[in-house]
Amino acid sequence: EVQLVESGGALAQPAGSLRLSCATSGFTFYHYVMSWVRQAPGKGLEWASAITGNSEDTYYSDSVKGRFTISRDNSDNTLYLQMNSLRVEDTAVYFCVKGSTGDRPYYFDTWGQGTLVTVSS
Amino acid sequence: EVVLTQSPGTLSLSPGERATLSCRASQSVNSNYLAWYQQKPGQAPKLLIYGTSSRPTGTPDRFSGSVSGTDFTLTISRLEPEDFAVYYCQHYSNSRTFGQGTKVELK
């Protein structure tokens, strides 16, 4: 069974930093694109970032580009999101999401339960 | 970038009724790359339909997807109590953006 378990969500100050982790199991991790999708309270889904299986390519939405860094450790089957220069508008539940393949086009076939990031002074 | 517009915003129906949800793309897109996700309150989204009309293992056959031009449709043939949720579409050919969602609520 595919499992994605996020951690690292917390209360952070504006301009602060957080690092999210996603521990995975049940599939061959390095074969698949992995993404982070976020959801602000009461709002819809917003894709934030993606990384290919071998970490060769990373992708970011305009709203997080230059502030967030996605990475993965294929030896540990773990996905990360380093979040710097946090803003109030980054407040959201962050979902770790498995892509359906190792390259485009891919849909999101498995989602973690999410971890809450709150940015507030 | 493709913009997906879902309608209606809210659909108020009773169990046993048919639900028809629309997702319109802002420009011509590959009709094979549309996914639908279901999200219940307090839960993560779950893949419902991929490839416009394919159901992953576990999706009941009362859920079906179709397309006509740039208009994609999710149909729930007979609503079950567990189907009341928010539904999001996503075109995944070159974009990762989602529609804004349609809430199916109990009438």
Q: How far is B36 from chain A (nearest CA, A)?
A: 9
Mean pLDDT computed over B34-59: 97
A107: nearest CB among B35, B39, B100: B35
pLDDT in tens, A12-66: 999 999 999 999 999 999 999 999 999 999 999 999 999 999 999 999 999 999 9
Residue A75 and residue A67 in contact, taking contact as beta carbons nearer than 8 Å: no
Q: Hey, is B58 helix, strand or coil?
A: coil
Confidence class for position B22, pLDDT limits 50, 70, 90: very high
Cα separation, A109 vs B50, in Å, equals: 9
Residues of B in contact with A35 (CB under 8 A): 96
